[in-house]
Amino acid sequence: MTDVLSFPSSFEWGCATAAFQIEGGASEGGKLPSIWDDFCAQPGRIKDASDGLVACDHFHRFREDVALMADLGFHHYRFSIAWTRVVREDGSANPEGLDFYRRLLDELAQRGITPNATLFHWDLPSHLQRAHRGWLGRETAHRFADYAALVARELGDRLPRVATLNEPWCSAFLGHDIGVFAPGVQDRPSSLLAAHHLMLAHGLGLQAWRAERSGTQLGIVLNPELCDAASDAPQDVAAARMAELERNDVFLNPLFKREWPAEMLTQIGELAEQRRPGDIALCAQPLDFIGLNYYTRSIAQAPVSADEQRRGYRFVPPDPQRPDLTDIGWAICPQGLDRVVRNLVAQWPLPPIWITENGAADNAPVVKDVCDDRLRLGYLQSHLAQLSQMVASGLDIRGYYVWSLLDNFEWAHGYSQRFGIVHVDYATQRRTPKSSAHYLQQLLSSPTTP
């Protein structure tokens, strides 16, 4: 498979993680709790009743983890900064927390790995949830801008590329409509208001960063969806469109100074009053790049329940008997990567694209020191073959980050789903590179063909 792939020599290869999912060190160095700590403490929220207090203990083992990345041949690392580690409740800098990231950046620099940082990967400080109702309060967007300015000042000289938010759809809709993510709200209009404030935070954050520092490549990471209709019936086609408006247009329109689709303005109802004139212009700051995360495609059909009717669609869960599902139950669809990107570039004037996450849940165990994750291996091979064709066809995609370097805390699934190319034994914190890691190592040693 390796020999059929062809990428330009400038193409960036990286691995990705996120603070809450790997760091642990939950109360060290003055770190404050986040809404995910609070969510984990609520019975029934996390499948295996676990939390992020220790996770992969990366806070103490980051040197080992950076060495692992270097051994595997990665030259780029996407990680997130924990807002709760670097900013105190009064808004001042927390030097101990900043030092952790300085040591991490030192280690990366020594190993020749370029950092790619995300400011917000869902771990909102709990005190902002209490004081301002989190993303339901406009004030949170301003606090995010203050945090962005602080990181620009304190760490910005070492960060060539920075994304404001990771997958704001998840914070907004999984967090405030479906309620399976922190803070666990279930209210459709609220989820749209949260989406608005997240995009406002993005815009204010970019402004604040640029006011502190020039020369950083700045962008955002989204998870646009490919929503196919379950049938040609007009109700199913309309439902698929509604799903797409929620997943894509709610986030991409503001980035390019366009108003939301009328359907979403109807759904937000009276809360629309909290969107102020001029907000859309604030959201639409120049973008140096966009990160796209891709895992699967979805199928939508006409809504049935009252909740689904409020949304305008329902998702058809893949038949669990299908052979082409990952261990978390997501359909494997490499062509979807091509379709999703083309669908976006046809509608919005995207800046250069990085695939900032792609990967699969494969819970293969370690047997005699070997973890043979064949499902993930096949998944990565098929998606990289697709990506190679996409790049060759002229789509402006500049890099690929596999999700994830390590098995880690998979949100509401706890530790029950493993996305790492490196296995983590949570009892001993032992790391074992899997077959997929060895495949990427080989690919990275010769990723181009003449």
Active site residues: 167, 357
Looking at the DSSP bridge assignments, the partners of residue 220 are 290
**Residue 328 Cβ vs ligand GCO, minimum distance, rounded to whole Å:** 7
Binding mask 192-211 for ligand GCO (x = CB under 6 A): --------------------
**Residue 411 Cβ vs ligand GCO, minimum distance, rounded to whole Å:** 6
Number of residues near ligand GCO (by CB under 6 A): 9
CA distance 328 to 2: 27
**Residue 76 Cβ vs ligand GCO, minimum distance, rounded to whole Å:** 16
**Residue 271 Cβ vs ligand GCO, minimum distance, rounded to whole Å:** 26
Asked if 167 touches ligand GCO (CB under 6 A), the answer is yes
Angle between helices 95-110 and 138-155 (to 10 degrees): 50
Nearer to ligand GCO, 47 or 111 (CB): 47
Residue 160 CB partners (closer than 8 Å, separation 6+): 114, 115, 116, 216, 217
- CB-neighbour burial class of residue 232 (10 A; exposed 0-12, middle 13-18, buried 19+): exposed
Q: Which of residues 65-124 bind ligand GCO (CB under 6 A)?
A: none
Q: Determine contact, residues 5/37, Cβ cutoff 8 Å.
A: no
CA distance 104 to 82: 13
CA distance 332 to 316: 15
**Residue 197 Cβ vs ligand GCO, minimum distance, rounded to whole Å:** 19
The residue with its CB nearest to ligand GCO is 167
Nearer to ligand GCO, 313 or 403 (CB): 403
Nearer to ligand GCO, 413 or 438 (CB): 413
**Residue 417 Cβ vs ligand GCO, minimum distance, rounded to whole Å:** 8
Q: What is the DSSP letter of 329?
A: S
Evaluate the omega torsion of the peptide bond into residue 388 and state whether it is cis, within 30 degrees of 0: no
Nearer to ligand GCO, 191 or 301 (CB): 191
Among 293, 298, 301, 358, binds ligand GCO (CB under 6 A): 293
Strands 422-425 and 430-433, bridge-based pairing = antiparallel
CA distance 352 to 288: 7
**Residue 18 Cβ vs ligand GCO, minimum distance, rounded to whole Å:** 5
Nearer to ligand GCO, 94 or 293 (CB): 293
* Three-state SS at 206: helix
**Residue 419 Cβ vs ligand GCO, minimum distance, rounded to whole Å:** 5
Among 74, 169, 403, 439, binds ligand GCO (CB under 6 A): 403
Q: Determine contact, residues 433/64, Cβ cutoff 8 Å.
A: no
CA distance 115 to 102: 11
Nearer to ligand GCO, 140 or 293 (CB): 293
End-to-end CA distance of the chain: 16
Binding mask 347-366 for ligand GCO (x = CB under 6 A): ----------x---------
Among 94, 116, 129, 166, binds ligand GCO (CB under 6 A): 166
Strands 314-315 and 289-293, bridge-based pairing = unpaired
Nearer to ligand GCO, 121 or 143 (CB): 121
Nearer to ligand GCO, 82 or 302 (CB): 82
Residue-by-residue DSSP string for 228-259: EESSSSHHHHHHHHHHHIIIIIHHHHHHTT-P
For residue 21, which of 36, 3, 10 has the smallest C-alpha distance?
A: 36
Q: Which residues bind ligand GCO (CB under 6 A)?
A: 18, 21, 166-167, 293, 357, 403, 410, 419
